Structure 1
Amino acid sequence: MRIRVSQEGGLDWPILKRWDVPWQWQTASLTSFACGLSFVLTGLAETAAIPLLGIKIEELSLDEKAELLFLDQSITTAMVLGVIYGITNTFQPLPEDMFRYDLREPFNLQKGWLLWAVIGLVGALLVIALTGVAMSAFSGETPHRETDSLVRLLPLIGSSSISTACLVGITGVLAPILEETVFRGFFMVSLTKWVPTPISVLISAAVFAIAHLTPGEFPQLFVLGIILGFSYAQTRNLLTPITIHAFWNSGVILILTFLQVVTLLLVVES
C-alpha cells in the first residue's frame, strides 16, 4: 500500500481519504429512502402482475422458477440503480472516484481492483471464520452462517445448467452490482461528507447487515460489509467490492451444487 505525505505533513492513507460528495444530507436521505421504496414497490408490482399474466408458480418447472427469479432480480436491479443514477446525475460532473467501474490496472499495488479483491476475499474468509469460532465459544451454540439463507435454493441448485446459471447470475452478478452500488458506491460515500471514512465503513456495514433481514447472520454480514467497505476505500473502484461479493455468493452456490451432485452420485451408487 502506498502511503503519501499530505500537505499538512501527516500521513495520507488511501483508506482514510474522504470523497468529495457534491450533495447534501437531504439528497442522501431521500435517495436512500427512494431506493428502499423502489425495491419494495417493484416486488409488490411483480407479485400482483404474476397472476394477472396467468402464471401459476406451483405449476412452473424448476428451470422456469429460476428464470423467473432471474427476471425479478434484473428488474429490481434496474429500478434501484435507475433511481440512484437518475438523482446523482443531476450533480454532474461527478468526481472521478465516484461510481467508478474501471477494468484497468487490475494488479496495481495501490489501487488494483483484482489484487485487492483477492486480498479482501481471503481476509473475509479468515475473519468471518474467526468470528464464527468466537461466537460459538461465547454462546455455546453454532452460529448461523450466510449459507443458511441459501439452503432454501437447494431444489433449484444443480437441477440443470439453466437453473444453476440463473442462480449464479442472480447471486454472483446482479446482487453484487446492486448492493455494492447502493451500500458502498452511494451510501458509504455519502456518509464521508460528515464522518471520517472508517466510521462511514462501519455504519454502511451495519446497514448492509440489517438490510438482509437475517438477525442470526448479522455478525458475519457486518464483518463482510467492513471488508467490502475498506476494499472500496482503498481502490476507489466499485469493481473491487463487487468482485469480492460475487465470489463470496457464487462460491456458496457452487459449493452447494457440488455437494448436491456428490449426494446424487452416492444415492445412485447405493
Structure 2
Amino acid sequence: MIPPAALSSPFVAVRLPASLLAARPLSWSAPPPTSPPRRRWKRTSPAILAVLQPSRRVAVAATPFLPPPRTRGASPPKLLPRSAQRRGLRFVCFCDGGEKDSTSDWPIFERWDVPWKWQTVALTMIACGLSFVLIGLAEASVLPYLGLQDQALSLNEKAELLFAGQFAVTAVVLGVIYGITNSFQPLPDDVFCYDLREPLSLRNGWLLWACIGFVGALIAIALTGASAAIFSGESPQRETDALVKLLPLIGSSSVSTAFLVGITGVLAPLLEETVFRGFLMVSLTKWFPTPVSVLIAAAVFALAHLTPGEFPQLFVLGTVLGFSYAQTRNLLTPITIHALWNSGVIVLLTFLRLQGYDIRELVQGSS
C-alpha cells in the first residue's frame, strides 16, 4: 500500500518482491547475419567469361553484350543446360540456339506492324474517294465562273488545266491520309517510307527492284492481253479509257507533252501508290497474309480506274507493284515502276505521232 504522503510527491517508489528481484534476467542475442541475395545475370548486363575455382575467381574477358533483335517467329535465346553448368568450368553465355528464321531472307512475306484498326482504314478510304469526287465537282463548277470554256481553250491550256486539277487532287488526298494517320505517330520505319539510299542493293534496292518489276510487268501484261484475246475472241473498246481522252494532247506540242508526263509520270504514281500500296495494302497485312493483301489491293486498284475492259491488265500491274513494294518496303519502288509505265506510254505515242502514225487508230486497234 502506498502511504498518503507519497501521493503528493512527483516520484512514487514501488517496492518489488524479493522473488522477482532474484529472478534471472532475460538474455537477448542478435539474429545471425543473412547473406545478400545472389545476383542473377540479366540479358542487358555484360557477358563475363569467367573461370570459377573453389578458392578464387579469375576473370578472363569482359565484353559488352547486346541481345540480337527479335524478329517475328524467331525463337528466344537459349542458355546452357544445368548439367553443363555443374562441370569444372562454368561460364555465362548468351547465344541464339534456335533455328535460323526462314522468313528473314524473304521480306516479301513479312507483314507490316500497323497501329490503326479497320475503322481507320475504312474512314480513310472513304475520305480519299470523297475528296476525289468533290474536287472534280468543284473544278467543274468554278471554271465557268472564271470564264474558262473547254471549247475555247487551246491544247496547251487544256494540258495545263489537267495538270492543275491532278495536282490539287494529289495534294488533298495525300493530306487526308497523312492527317488521319498522323495521330498514330511515331509510325514504324517501313510505313510511308521514301528512302533514296542504297538504290542497287540486292535485298531492298528500290531502283534495282523497280527495273526488275518493270520488266516483269511488261511480260505479264503482254501475256495477259494475249490470253484475253485468245479466250474472248475480241477485245473491248477503250472509249472510256483516260488514255483515249488524252490522245489529242499527246504530241501536239512540247508544252502539252511535258504537262502530260508530269501528270502520268509524277503526280498519278505518287498518289495511287501511296493510297493503294502505301496505305491500303499495308493496312490489310494486319488481318491477311502479305500475298493476299497484295491481290486485294491490286483488285481495288484496277476497279478504281473505272475501265472494266482493262481490269485484267490493271490487276496484273497492281500485283507486280504490290510484290515489288513488299520486297523493298520502299514506296519509291512501285512509284518508279508506275512512272515508267505511264510516261513510257506517253513518250512512245508522242514518237509515233511525230512519225506520222494515227495514234488513235493504233490505241483502239490494239485494244
Task: Answer whether TM exceeds 0.5 for this pair.
Answer: yes
Match of 1:80 in 2: 173
Q: How does 1:55-134 map to 2 (within 5 A)?
A: 55-134=148-227
C-alpha contact (below 8 Å) 2:241/2:307 kept by paired residues: no
Equivalent positions of 1:1-270 (< 5 A) are 7-8=74-75, 9=99, 10-12=101-103, 13-142=106-235, 149-263=242-356
Kept in 2: contact 1:35–1:80 (CA 8 A): yes
Identify if the C-alpha distance between structure 1 residues 164 and 147 changes in structure 2 by more than 3 Å, giving closer, same or farther: farther
1:23–1:91 contact (8 Å) kept in structure 2: yes
Distance 2:123 2:240 in 1: 33
C-alpha deviation, 1:145, in angstroms: 7.7
Aligned to 1:268: none
Question: Amino acid of the residue matched to residue 260 of structure 2?
Answer: L
Measure, in 2, the Cα distance between the counterparts of 1:145 and 1:58.
23
- Could you tell me the TM-score, scaled by structure 2's length? 0.69
Q: Is the 8 A contact 2:163 2:262 kept in 1?
A: yes
Q: State how far apart, in whole Å, the 1-side matches of 2:299 and 2:217 are.
A: 16
What stretches of structure 2 of length at least 5 have no aligned partner? 1-70, 76-98, 359-367
Cα pair 2:238 2:244 within 8 Å, conserved: no
Q: In structure 2, how many angstroms separate the alpha carbons of the residues matched to 1:161 and 1:106?
A: 31
Letter in 1 for 2:139: E
Larger Rg: 2
**Shift in Å, 1:30:** 0.3
CA pair 101-87 structure 1, distance change in 2 beyond 3 A: same
Specify whether residues 146 and 234 from structure 1 end up closer, same or farther in structure 2 by C-alpha distance, changes over 3 A only.
farther
Q: Assess if the C-alpha contact under 8 Å between 1:145 and 1:220 holds in 2.
A: no
TM-score by length of 1: 0.93
For 2:191, what is the secondary structure of its paired residue? coil
Say if 1:147 and 1:252, in contact at 8 Å, map to a contact too.
no
Distance 2:122 2:72 in 1: 34
SS of the residue 1:11 aligns to: coil
Q: Could you list the structure 1 runs, at least 4 aligned residues long, displaced by more than 6 angstroms after superposition.
A: 144-147
Task: Report if the CA contact (8 A) 1:132-1:143 is conserved.
Answer: no
Shift of 1:142: 3.4
**Which SS does the other structure have where 1:187 is aligned?**
helix
Q: CA deviation at 1:152?
A: 2.4
Alpha-carbon separation, structure 2, partners of 1:103 and 1:146: 39
Q: Secondary structure at the match of 2:288?
A: coil
Give the drift of 1:104: 0.6
**Equivalent position of 2:47 in the other structure:** none
In 2, distance between residues paired with 1:61 and 1:138?
A: 43
> Which segment is superposed worse, 175-184 or 51-60?
51-60
The number of aligned residues is 262
C-alpha spacing 1:186/1:27, structure 2 compared with 1 (3 Å):
same
Following TM superposition, by how much is the alpha carbon of 1:147 offset from its aligned partner in structure 2, in angstroms?
11
In structure 2, give the amino acid aligned to 1:27. T
After superposition, the Cα gap between the structure-2 partners of 1:147 and 1:239, relative to the gap in structure 1 and judged at 3 Å, is: farther
User: 1:146–1:107: structure 2 CA closer, same or farther, 3 Å change rule?
Assistant: farther
Give the deviation of 1:264 after TM superposition.
Answer: 7.0
In 2, distance between residues paired with 1:33 and 1:145?
27
Distance 2:200 2:139 in 1: 41
Q: Structure 1 residues 122, 264: closer, same or farther in 2, change over 3 A? A: closer
The change in CA–CA distance for 1:131 and 1:197 in structure 2 (over 3 A counts) is same
Residue number in structure 1 paired with 2:14: none
C-alpha deviation, 1:7, in angstroms: 1.2
Output the CA distance in 2 between the equivalents of 1:101 and 1:144. Answer: 37
